[in-house]
Amino acid sequence: MSQPSEMENQAHVLFHKFLQGKKCTETLNAFRELCTELQLDHTDFQHLYQKLKGSLNYWKAKALWTKLDKRASHSDYGQGQACSGTKCLVLGAGPCGLRTAIELAFLGAKVILIEKRDTFSRNNVLHLWPFTIHDLKTLGAKKFYGKFCSGCLDHISIRQLQLMLLKVALILGIEIHVNVEFKGLIEPPKNQEKKTGWKAELLPANHPVTEFEFDVLVSAGGSNFIPNGFKKKEMRGKLAIGITANFVNRHSSAEAKVEEISGVASLYNQKFFQQLHNETGIDLENIVYYKDDTHYFVMTAKKQSLLKYGVIRQDQRETNALLNTHNMDKKSLLRYAHQAADFCTNHQLPDLEFALNHRGDPDVAMFDFTCMYRSENAALVRERHGHRLLVALVGDCLVEPFWPLGTGIARGFLAALDAAWLVRGWGMGTAPLELLAERESIYQLLSQTKPENTHKKVTLYSIDPFTRYPNLNLNFFKANQVSNGPGEGLIS
């Protein structure tokens, strides 16, 4: 048998380094290094994957190619040609931006993704529904992160999920630019000779991506970012104060024995919460505990107990004022979270030491879930001087999730697949009004989706919404309901 050449060995080393990358920039650099070593152009989206495959033809890489080839061969993607003329700008390298970008690449689109930060720093842990676990496994999750959902685990830290998706995205030829902030759209100019299309205003202002002309913008900028033209709908419920806390996981046998808590609602476990209240003064509505890279807790705490404990300094009528950092005592919050975690794990977790966040502080935070937002619409079309632009929202930017319910990433991924289906129709030339009506018909199901009311055969899930939603009525909205209306049309 012939020995691999030195160059091949070096490529294997670099590929391994890329697969093992634990940080965002480290992974991006490792990928560039690998491409340079193999003399591949990482922006050549049409050929990069095939060339990588050809160059890295040894067992470890082959196992990944088998997974990705199987996924790419799905008939929905039309052999990677369904959107071959489509150019997409994706905003945000959160899990939903990356997940959508991957689907667009499978459809054959040119995809550039921009992200304003250069770190993946969230320790917090996301609950995964069976379909998300299957979905990620078909993208080779285990090749990037061996521990992914082994046994009966059904969760992952946000940063691990981002890292995994980043790696898949790079392999599929998606151009990723970090430290680039989207500031707005630049409309195609009037009376132009060169027929320039839609572009983006970015920071830094002279970044090469400002020259990129695209016909699809996917906004996945998280809950604080909603692009112009979309209206937010406020869903105000009763006061809900969320607390998240992460503790160091030393992976000792004592820690391994402690049981996770997946959603103890007080309604069903009055005794447990009463006992916690009596013994500690901590009054919770629910608590979730996952053992992941960290010991992660998310709980909803009652205002009176936070006031009594001294976490909230002064009662205020306005939620914003109540939960303002100036009205919060950080030390008391740390004690509160520590004691709740200790009690709820029956004092079995030894040495509960706070993990640190990206600022180097104990990773504990308090969030307001009283008022949640969702966008009124999932997509719109803009047209200027003969240039059409499809704008689609995904992830938290579309619907803000209530973390303790653990529905966020599953609904985020459903919307990512729905957005990809929309772009597929766009790429294949379906009329915009028809597309938007269909997208809105699918969107109105999203907030009610649960594992129980989506199709059970998760292995058959694809971007085609019928594979996921039973009883889907694609004509729930008609084209005339999304057309130009006074200030409310989705085409402008």
For binding to ligand FAD (CB under 6 A), which residues are involved?
91-97, 114-117, 122, 124, 126, 158, 181-182, 220-222, 225, 244, 298, 395-397, 401, 403, 406, 408-409, 412
Angle between helices 408-427 and 95-106 (to 10 degrees): 30
User: At closest approach, how far in Å is the CB of 59 from ligand FAD?
Assistant: 33
For ligand FAD, the closer of residues 14 and 158 by Cβ is: 158
Nearest approach in angstroms of CB 7 to ligand FAD is: 36
3-state secondary structure of 391: strand
Closest by alpha carbon to 19, among 174, 150, 167?
Answer: 167
SS3 string of 21-52? CCCHHHHHHHHHHHHHHCCCCCCCCCCHHHHH
- What single-letter amino acid sits at 182? F
CB of 93 to ligand FAD, least distance (A): 5
Q: How far is the CB of 281 from ligand FAD (least distance, A)?
A: 24
Nearest approach, Cβ of residue 192 and ligand FAD (Å): 27
Judged by beta carbon, residue 80 or residue 94, the one nearer ligand FAD is 94
Q: Which is nearer to ligand FAD, 97 or 140 (CB)?
A: 97
Minimum CB separation of residue 95 from ligand FAD in Å reads: 5
Tell me if residue 275 falls in helix, strand or coil: helix
| Shortest distance in whole angstroms from residue 483 CB to ligand FAD | 28
CA-CA distance, 18 to 34, in Å (whole number)?
A: 8
Q: What is the phi/psi pair of residue 448, to 5°?
A: -100, -5
In the chain, the amino acid numbered 217 is: L
Q: How far is the CB of 423 from ligand FAD (least distance, A)?
A: 17
Q: Which C-beta is closer to ligand FAD: that of 11 or that of 93?
A: 93
Which candidate, 155, 231, 239, places its Cα nearest to that of 407?
155
Distances, alpha carbon 61 to alpha carbons 26, 108, 173, 239, in Å: 20, 22, 16, 50
* Antiparallel, parallel or unpaired: β 110-115 and 379-384: unpaired
- Which residue's CB is nearer to ligand FAD, number 21 or number 108? 21
Q: Tell me, what amino acid is at 72?
A: A
Q: Least separation, in Å, of the C-beta of 126 and ligand FAD?
A: 5
Q: Considering the complex, state which of residue 188 and residue 408 has its C-beta at the smaller distance from ligand FAD.
A: 408
- Nearest 5°: the CA angle 206, 209, 211 is 80
> Whose Cβ is closer to ligand FAD: residue 34's or residue 102's?
102
| Cα distance between residue 8 and residue 137, in whole Å | 27
Q: Min. distance of Cβ 28 from ligand FAD in angstroms?
A: 14
Which helix (H) or strand (E) covers residue 233, if one does?
strand 232-236
In DSSP terms, which residues pair with 287 in a beta bridge?
Answer: 264, 299
- State residue 374 phi and psi, 5-degree precision: -140, 150
d(CA 453, CA 471): 10
Alpha helices in 128-195 (DSSP H): 130-138, 141-144, 158-171
Check residue 312 and report its DSSP letter. Answer: B
Q: What single letter denotes the amino acid at residue 134?
A: H
Report CA torsion sign: 134, 119, 182, 221.
positive
